Structures are given as structure tokens and as C-alpha cells.
Structure 1
Amino acid sequence: MAPPPNIVFFFTDQQRHDTVGLHGNPLGLTPNFDRLAREGTFLKNCFSCQPLCTPARASLQTGRYASQSGLSAGVLSAGSRTLADHFNEAGYDTALIGKWHLAGTDPVPERLQGRYASWLGSNTPDLSSGVYGCRLYDKEKNAVDLPGYRSDAYVDAAIRYLSEPRENPFFLFLSLVEPHQHNPQDSYPAPDGYRELYSDRWTPPDLAAMEGSAARQLPGYYGMVKRVDEGLGRVADALKSMGMLENTLIVYASDHGCHFRTRGHEYKHTCHESSIRVPGFIHGPGFLAGGERPEMVSLVDLPPTLLDAAGLSVPGEMQGQSLVPRLRSSISEWPGEAYVEYENPTGTGRAIRTGRWKFAVQTDQRELPEAGCADEYREAFLYDLEADPWEQENCIGLEGYREVAEQLRERLLKRLEKVEGKRPTILPPLKVNFSGQRKIARESGEL
């Protein structure tokens, strides 16, 4: 019988899906991501379930959507069961290195560390230290200053952890800050010399078509992505050199994307692809040669997938779905859409993203009931991603799209009822003034 796999979760912050070569980026930023994804299982359609740091992380740690995760005022309840709880009980050594952002305070008190046995973290490291002169805290809240550029410092710490002698398998959650902006300066500070490599280079079409901060900030952002990918390669090299790569799952994802202020004042917070679509792969035993997967995979699906891949039972309270049975057979029971919760300065929204369509509803309520779901929403967005992949034209309210909108509304209501236990009222969109004829031509079949 094969030994249980080790697991390294390589988690980035605010990384757009189209920063990687497999999603069409032409700049060669991610040779290590592309190689490992090709060798393993490339999650082509990987989505955040909440495009904001704290709620996305709550979902990833608990396997539940943010509204149901036990998150309140930016703090994950000490009683919420995390990935560390499940792997601790299975005899794994568990460790977190890097950003936590689920405690509301720094240093993070032990009761809010998610029961990770080994801890070298910070709640908000982009506020507690810079990209050079990195500071984290140990389990007893002692400051630990790490040399080097921040993502390198985290990777160095991870490699030290991986090289420690141990008898048990390990689950390491390596949580980077990059390529998130550095909050005190509202900038994307790449390592020295890296920003200059990407000045006046390729701009994604959605950013090129809309006003925002991309022209000023993309070069630094790309430089950060490049250095992060180099760190990924170093982790894989370390595992290979220690003879552990063949029995280690490397999982890659990001908490959300970045729209560079094209969809509002902030960088995420919306239902658009630039906010919710993220790069993802799983490499290692059971996932090698898995190919490019078309399924709509949510961050909330990754916890049950990891437990299942480690031979552990998936608890009933997890709301995601394991990919393992899907990869091992041709079963068809997989949701045809990704479900997304989001909030922004104007209110709170719920959305579904199918293979072709994006449909979202919003309410102006910022504070929802504890159960998470509002009583009433209004239709807000409808995008035909086949005809308009960069989401330049919102079709909500156009008469020719009414039938599609009604079908998607019903699908969203079913997801709301399943996730949040409530079937709210969804009001029609505000009136759209549009002259001329317009009607969607579509083949029969699934949306």
C-alpha cells in the first residue's frame, strides 16, 4: 500500500489567471507553473469563491463558502474546523508559513492559528513589514525577521521546513503575499531589476480597453509574478533533491485575481473574470498526466479534493466537491457552474459562471444576516463570455437575452438554496435604454 502523500499548498495572493503561459500570457513569466501543470492536472477553469482575501481564505481553510464558514468581522471562529484539524487527526505534521489574514490582529494568538502545529506567520504581513525586511511571528508570537525579498524569504523558510527530519507525512500551507499590492504605498514592488523587464509589455485586453491603474502598475505586478514562479521552481527542486517529489502533492491556487481598478476603486470585489478567475494545478500522485481539465473548479472544491487524495474521509459539512472521483472515472456529476459570493462598496452580490455565461445579482445591503443570504437581490450583470470574453458589454436587461437570464436566475436560486438554505427574491434589472433589435442566437442545450 502506498504511503500517504505529503502536501505542499503553494498559495499566491491576487494573481490573475492570465499571468501564466497556459492561459495565453506571452511574456514567459511562469515556466515552472506551466511545466508542473502540464505534468500534473491543469485546472483550466479555476475560480475564487469570494474575490477578497479574508473570505476566500476562510473558504479554503474550512471547505465552506465564506458566508457559511464561521467568519465574522474578518476573524475565523476559533471553533471552525480547518484543513490543519483534519490533517492533524490523520497523523500529519501541519505547518503554515506566511500570510493568514483570518485573525484580525498581529501577532496571531495561538487560539486563532487554525491548529497548525508549526507556525511562522502574520495576519497582514504587507502591513507589518515590507517586501525587503520581512517579518513573521512564531507560534509563541515572537518576531522572526527573514532576509531577502519577501516571497524568497517565505520559500526559504518552506525549504527549511521540508528538510527537517520527520516520521510523519506533512501538510504545508505556504501562503505568499505576492503579487498583491503593497498596501502602505499602493504599489506592486517587484524585486530590484524585475519591474524594468516588463515595462511597456503585453497588456490583457480587458485592461487595455478600460481606464484603470494597469499602465502604471502592470510592470511591477509582472515582476512579482516572475519571482513567485521562480520560488515555485525552487520548492519543486528541493522536493526532488530530497527524494520527496514523487510522493508529494503540489497544489497551486490564488485567493482571487486583480482588475487594476477597471471595475471600481479597489482591485477585486467584483464578479468579473479579472477578479474571480485564478491559476490552478495539482501535481503529484494520482494527478500526474491528468491533462487540462474543463470543470468549473472553485477554491471550495480544493479542501475535499486534498482530503480525498490523502485517503481521508470528506466531512459532510464541506460544501465543495472532490475532484478525485472525477479524475478516476467518467462520472458526470459535476456542477455546470462556479458559484461566487462577493461584496463591494455598493453592496453584496451572488453570481454563477457557466462555460458560456456570467450572471450576477446584487443588493445594496453591506451587512447580511448571519446566515449570509439577503432577502432580496436585483439582477445586475449578464455576460456572454463566448462573444465577449473580456466582459465589455453587460447584457442584463436586454430583451433579446431575457430567456437566458431567466434560466440562469433559476440556476442561481438553486445554488443559493443549496449553499445558504434560502431562496431570496430576485428583482428584474433596472431599465436599460437600448435602441435597435437584439436577440441571442444559441443552440439548444446546456448554458
Structure 2
Amino acid sequence: MDDTSKQDSTHSIDRRSFIASSLAAGVALRSGKAEAQAARPSSRPNIIIYLADQFRADFVGANGQNPSTRTPNLDAMAARGTNFTGAICNQPVCSPSRSILMTGRYATETGVWHNARPIDPSLPTLAGELRKAGYSANLIGKWHLAPSTEAEGGGRGYVKPEQRGGFLDMWEGANEFEWTTHPYEGTIYDADGKEITFKDEYRVDFVTDRAERFLRQKHDKPFLLYVSQLEPHFQNVEHGTGHFVGPKGSAERFANPFVPNDLKSLPGNWQQELPDYYGCCEAIDKSVGHLMKVLEEEKLANNTIVLFTSDHGCHFMTRNEEYKRSPHNASIRIPLIVQGPGFNNAMRLDEVIGNINVMPTLLEAAGLPVPSSVKGKSFMPLMTKPEARSAWPNRELVQISESMTARALRTKDWTYCVLDVEGRREQEFAQKYVEYQMYSQAADPFEQVNLAGRKEFRAQAAELREELKQMMQAAGEPPAEIVPVTHYP
């Protein structure tokens, strides 16, 4: 080869090298830009958790069990998104259930195994994890995860920043909302403790107005917004159990409504309280519809996950001396409807899902890692992977406090509950339990016949007993003895 040929060959090789290196650089640059864009907080979905306190799952019309309920907006949400009809709470009382929702841990692990206890500040929370990824974390309404007395460093109203579980951006709430407000007047507090008052406006509408105000603001980062309504929870009173207060005229509009089958054969106060409860649920539905409209108007709807749920249900004093704190479906079944990116599947799933699984699910939906300490599991695979549905355990541990120290196992087929053998109510754990209640979900979904102690079900009870003991230990509880009951109560 002559010098000219060598030179041309060298130039050709150089040109090829340059083109190749340029292409590689371009790919790397584009890849880098793509990675940077993917990592940018603004590319992540906004998240709204809308929690309606003490809202029964069967009071959502889309769940097809209640002809009197009026929830067209929740029904539309269920039609667009995914309706998890087998959802339950892992502790049927306000503070413990909320602590589970925020941490993906059991109530005995969060420190909030009883109402009005502060959440363990060392635990990762949904708000904290999202803020680390560039989100703002914002709350409007009820918190109930700070100490309830000034002697403990807390109170019913203002909540100190270190007690907010990571909600360190906009804060407009009260620790015990049911005591600082009433249905048509009250006070909440901003991040600095300044009072925000309302009067002559229904409480649901007031909270909705504050949420709309937030959504219409300019947002330069993705947001988590926790809209925590009190309704349909009863209004607390100083003495007694409290009463439900719907918008004015509710009692007349919902007179003689449908009575759920789990209530109608049992004594309780549902006869007096159901009409206003229906009114409260209708007000919540209108609120949800209004905020959905705001999302559309602000062009936020396509990139916002909206999750509607409750912290527990309501049995209207049919199972114990108040409204919840029992293992029955009326207490533990909750609505769980999700729409938005990753959830718009027009799908209904009936797997048994505890609210312990909400926190890791939302982190996965946002493309974020789940802390290794979290006990809950994301249920996102249930929507896309048939093998995930077949492998889903369909069993949840329910811890019960205040009315009794009890533990329950809820599966698709059974509810199995054990009670502290000494009958104590204010214990975090018990060392010894006795079988207390057992219901067949297939044969008796309204839980009218307690099978605990029936001879023909002892083999099934023994199997459930061992499963429950294993789940209790997996939740970090000390080993406990469960005594079989041998008589039919």
C-alpha cells in the first residue's frame, strides 16, 4: 500500500472512529438527559390520599350492596380506576390505623397501638420518603398521630413539626379534629400555629375549600396531599358516644333508608343514626367530585394518583358499646379506590388487602424504593400479573385495642379472633389468649353466627390458630399462647 493509500485509509479509520465516538457520545448524552429527566421530581405523579373517617365499604355504590347510598363520584372513580373491594384495616380505630397507613408497619410497631399516642419519629413514613425524592408533603384536616395532652408535649389542636410524620410543607390541620371543630364551626391550625377558623359552613365543605385552594396554586414540584376529613365519623361529645351529623336536611332526605344486613337483626343505635350517616357519606362523595373537577381544570388529572379510603368502618353499637374496635367486617372493611397513573384499569379486585400495604404501593407507583423496614407489600402487581394474584396470601393480621386486647386473622374464607384470657382492655400485648369469635365468610358474610367452640369446626380453628400465631410473631409480637375454646357460647 502506498503512502497516499495509507493516508486515505488512516483518514477513513479516523472518520469512522469520530463518527462512532460521536454517536456514542450522542447516545450517552441522550441517555444522560433521559436519566436526568426520569430522575427529575417533576416527572413523578402527584399523589392525593383522601381519607373519610369511619366510612363503611358497603356505603360506596360501586360495591353494589346498598341501594340507598348516593356516591356517583366515587362510583365514577371506581369505574375509571381500580376498586379493591377486599380491603381491610389492620387496626379498627383511628390513630393506630392512620399510623399503619403512613408507615406500612403494624400499630404495635409504630408506637400507636392505642388512640392518641405519638407516632415513632424514627420510622420512615410515606411523607418523609416522598419529600426525600423531591415531593412537597401537605396535610389538610385531621392528624391524630401526636400526643393528645400538653403534659405529653402535644394537645388537641396545633401539632409541632417534629410530630407531623414528615408533612413539613403546607399544614392546615388539628391533631384531634373532632374536638377543635364541630359540623358547622371550628378551628384548625397552620404550620406556625396560626388559627384558621370557619363558621356557618359544613365541615366537609370547609376542608374541601382548603384543598381546592391548594390545588389551584402553582406547583413547581410533585406533591403529596393528604385530605383527612372527619365525616362520616360521629361528632364527639364530652359524655357518651356522640352522634352523626350530616348536612342540614339529611335526616329527612334519608328517612327509612336501606339497613345493611349485618345490622338489621342486632340491637344498636342504627335506627337513629343511619339517616345522618348517609348524609355524611353523600357530602364526602360531593367533595371528591368537586376536587376531581378542580384537578381537570388545573390540568393535573392525568398525572395525579387519587386514593380514596377510610381508617375503619362502623357497626353502630351492634358489636360492642361503641362504633368500631371489633374484628367484624363492619369495623375492619374499608373502601379502597385508586385512580391515576398505573391504576386506570377499570378493574375490581377482591383480594384481602390490609391498609398496611398502601404506603409501599404508593412508593412503587411513584418509582421510589420501599424502605427495608416496611412490613407491607405493594399490591400494584395484582393489577398486571396473574401470577401475582395467585400468589397473594389473602390473609391479614388485625390488632384490636381499647375495647379489648385481641388479635384476629382475616382470610377470604374466615375471620378468627382471640381475646386476652384475663379480659384486659388497655394492654399492648397479651401473653395468653383464648378463642373468642369465628365466622365463615362464605356461608355467613354478615357474621351473624359465631362458630368458635363448635365441635365440627375445631380442625379449621386449629389451622387458623397456628396461622394467627405465626402472623403475630412476624409482626414483632412476643410468642403467645392461644387456648382453644371447647364450648359453644
Match of 1:15 among 55, 75, 92: 55
Q: Structure 1: which 5+ residue stretches go unaligned?
A: 434-447
Compute the displacement of 1:80 (Å). 3.3
Compute the displacement of 1:138 (Å). 0.4
What TM-score does the superposition give when structure 2 sets the normalisation length?
A: 0.85
Compute the displacement of 1:167 (Å). 1.1
Residues 316, 382 of structure 1: alpha-carbon distance in 2 compared, 3 angstrom cutoff: same
Q: Which residue of 2 aligns with 1:391?
A: 447
Partner-residue secondary structure (3-state), 2:405: strand
Compute the displacement of 1:333 (Å). 3.2
Q: Does 1:181 align with 2:224?
A: no
Query: Deviations along 1:408-443, whole A, 9 cap, x unmatched?
Result: 11111121121125331110126226xxxxxxxxxx
Q: Does 1:110 align with 2:161?
A: yes
**Within 1, Cα distance between the matches of 2:293 and 2:250?**
22
Partner-residue secondary structure (3-state), 2:182: coil
Match of 1:54 among 95, 105, 120: 95
Residues 223, 419 of structure 1: alpha-carbon distance in 2 compared, 3 angstrom cutoff: same
Partner-residue secondary structure (3-state), 1:218: helix
Q: Which residue of 2 aligns with 1:427?
A: 483
**Within 1, Cα distance between the matches of 2:99 and 2:477?**
19
Q: How many residues were matched structurally?
A: 429
**Within 2, Cα distance between the matches of 1:421 and 1:187?**
36
Match of 1:159 among 208, 212, 220: 212
Letter in 2 for 1:365: R
Letter in 2 for 1:79: S
Whether the 8 Å CA contact 2:402–2:426 is kept in 1: the answer is: no
Partner-residue secondary structure (3-state), 2:275: helix
Match of 2:424 among 365, 377, 380: 365
Whether the 8 Å CA contact 1:214–1:260 is kept in 2: the answer is: yes
Q: Does 1:307 align with 2:360?
A: no
Q: Does 1:142 align with 2:142?
A: no
**Within 2, Cα distance between the matches of 1:160 and 1:134?**
18
Q: Structure 2: which 5+ residue stretches go unaligned?
A: 1-33, 149-154
Describe how 1:306-325 pairs up with structure 2 within 5 A: 306-325=362-381
Q: Does 1:220 align with 2:276?
A: yes
Describe how 1:71-110 pairs up with structure 2 within 5 A: 71=112, 74-103=117-146, 104=148, 105=155, 106-110=157-161
Q: Does 1:254 align with 2:310?
A: yes
Query: Deviations along 1:357-404, whole A, 9 cap, x unmatched?
Result: 110111023343xxx542211111110121111111100000001111
Match of 1:44 among 63, 67, 85: 85
Letter in 1 for 2:395: E
Partner-residue secondary structure (3-state), 1:75: coil
Whether the 8 Å CA contact 2:361–2:378 is kept in 1: the answer is: yes
Whether the 8 Å CA contact 2:59–2:69 is kept in 1: the answer is: no
Partner-residue secondary structure (3-state), 2:368: coil
Whether the 8 Å CA contact 1:373–1:420 is kept in 2: the answer is: no
Q: Which residue of 2 aligns with 1:445?
A: none
**Within 1, Cα distance between the matches of 2:247 and 2:486?**
46
**Within 2, Cα distance between the matches of 1:35 and 1:415?**
36
Q: Which residue of 2 aligns with 1:132?
A: 184
Partner-residue secondary structure (3-state), 1:219: helix
Once the two structures are overlaid, the 10-residue window that deviates more, 326-335 or 108-117, is 326-335
**Within 2, Cα distance between the matches of 1:99 and 1:74?**
14
User: RMSD across aligned C-alpha pairs, in angstroms?
Assistant: 1.5
Match of 2:260 among 179, 201, 204: 204
**Normalized per residue, which structure has more strand?**
1
**Within 2, Cα distance between the matches of 1:361 and 1:290?**
38
Q: Does 1:123 align with 2:175?
A: yes
**Within 2, Cα distance between the matches of 1:316 and 1:7?**
22
Whether the 8 Å CA contact 2:78–2:346 is kept in 1: the answer is: no
Letter in 2 for 1:97: I
**Normalized per residue, which structure has more helix?**
2
Query: Deviations along 1:241-288, whole A, 9 cap, x unmatched?
Result: 111111100001100000000011110010001000011111011111
Q: Does 1:335 align with 2:393?
A: yes
Query: Deviations along 1:196-238, whole A, 9 cap, x unmatched?
Result: 1111111101111100000000000000000000000011110
Whether the 8 Å CA contact 1:48–1:277 is kept in 2: the answer is: yes
**Within 1, Cα distance between the matches of 2:330 and 2:311?**
12
Letter in 1 for 2:236: N
Whether the 8 Å CA contact 2:405–2:429 is kept in 1: the answer is: no
Q: Which residue of 2 aligns with 1:6?
A: 46
**Within 2, Cα distance between the matches of 1:130 and 1:7?**
28
Letter in 1 for 2:416: F
**Within 1, Cα distance between the matches of 2:191 and 2:124?**
19
Compute the displacement of 1:28 (Å). 4.1
Match of 1:69 among 110, 113, 119: 110
Compute the displacement of 1:338 (Å). 2.0
Compute the displacement of 1:29 (Å). 1.4
Q: Which residue of 2 aligns with 1:443?
A: none
Give identity over the alignment, percent.
Answer: 36
Letter in 2 for 1:366: R
Whether the 8 Å CA contact 1:21–1:31 is kept in 2: the answer is: yes
